[in-house]
Amino acid sequence: MLLKYGLSNKNLVKGELKNRRLTQILTVTVLILAVLTAAIPGSLAIMRRADAQVALGNAKALRLALQVAATESYAASRPFRDPSREGGVTEEVWRRVLVDSKVPGDFWVLQTDESGYEVLRFLYREGDFTVSYCKDPLRYVVSYQEPYIQTEYTAVY
């Protein structure tokens, strides 16, 4: 009967081998895709954690540069803090801190002591990370910034 339709055992065996190979290839492909799908979120979390560690290290370098700039300003009787300027410090101090610390982000001095030369609080922003520093108690908090809600209001008075 097989010969009547032009089929032989040899052709059937070849067809079965092709189907079996195709099934094996598809199975391996599905397994690889499943492993990748499971591994990507974990990998992204590890990369985000590493980026947070880098931002924290840069904030610590910034704290030291601010401390050095404040000491130099105090010794030369120059002002250190200027809330109306970029970063909350004078332009000279701002440039000096960026050169000394070599940080790629932006910073803002939020609070100094009564003398105006010791930094008690600052914010440092690098990419999607914000690091807040508090001197007493000594604390760094790294936050991952992702805007969920953005609003814009126009006030009518």
Mean pLDDT of all residues in 1-30 = 72
Measured CA angle at 118 (ends 124, 125), to 5 deg = 5
Q: Is 39 left (phi over 0), alpha (psi -120 to 50) or beta?
A: alpha
Q: For residue 119, which of 66, 60, 69, 79 has the smallest C-alpha distance?
A: 66
CA gap 149, 84 in Å, rounded: 28
What pLDDT does residue 155 have? Answer: 56
What pLDDT does residue 52 have? Answer: 87
Q: What is the pLDDT of residues 121-151, one digit of tens each?
A: 999 999 889 898 988 888 888 888 765 555 5
Q: For residue 83, which of 118, 114, 108, 117 has the smallest C-alpha distance?
A: 108
List the beta bridge partners of residue 109. 122
Q: What is the pLDDT of residues 116-129, one digit of tens each?
A: 899 999 999 998 89
What pLDDT does residue 39 have? Answer: 74
pLDDT surpassing 80 at residue 3: no
pLDDT surpassing 60 at residue 6: no
Q: What is the pLDDT of residues 20-63, one digit of tens each?
A: 888 889 999 988 888 877 777 778 888 888 888 999 999 999 99
pLDDT surpassing 70 at residue 77: yes
The full set of domain ranges for the chain reads 36-144
DSSP 64-111: HHHHHHHHHHHHTT---B-TTSGGGB-HHHHHHHHHHH--SSEEEEEE
What pLDDT does residue 17 have? Answer: 76
What pLDDT does residue 84 have? Answer: 86
CA gap 77, 116 in Å, rounded: 11
What pLDDT does residue 21 have? Answer: 86
Q: Is the pTM of this model over 0.75?
A: no
CA gap 153, 115 in Å, rounded: 38
Mean pLDDT of all residues in 92-100 = 91
* SS3 state of residue 51: helix
